[in-house]
Amino acid sequence: MQYLVMTSDIGDIDWDRHSDALKMESKHILSLYLKGVLRNIWFTDKKDAILLFECDSINTVNTEMKKLPLVSNALIKYEVISLNPYTGLERLIHGAN
């Protein structure tokens, strides 16, 4: 199953004061890539991160997100969105229900 995770800063943060946490965050993100759980990550125009997880459950996503230094240090918050298979094409094949 795939999950989209949207992050945002908690308050107005001076990121220059958190360089150690940002380095630890990068290392943890790399470990998630290497585990095969994190498929992709992007930044928005506002510099919030969007992550694409592929794993067995939303619980796995939450467990991994809570381990991130920026989350555990209450610098960012996140929202998980389950990405379910698109069923709209079935309507073309089987007709509208």
pLDDT in tens, 5-32: 999 999 999 999 999 999 999 999 999 9
Task: Look up the CATH number of the domain holding residue 57.
Answer: 3.30.70.1060
Asked whether residue 97 carries a pLDDT value surpassing 80, the answer given is no
Q: For the whole model, what pTM was predicted?
A: 0.88
The total number of structural domains in the chain stands at 1
- The Cα angle at residue 28 between residues 26 and 31, in degrees rounded to 5: 115
Q: Supply the range of the domain harboring residue 26.
A: 2-94
Asked if the model's pLDDT at residue 77 lies above 90, the reply is: yes
Q: Are 76 and 8 contacting, i.e. CB atoms less than 8 angstroms apart? A: yes
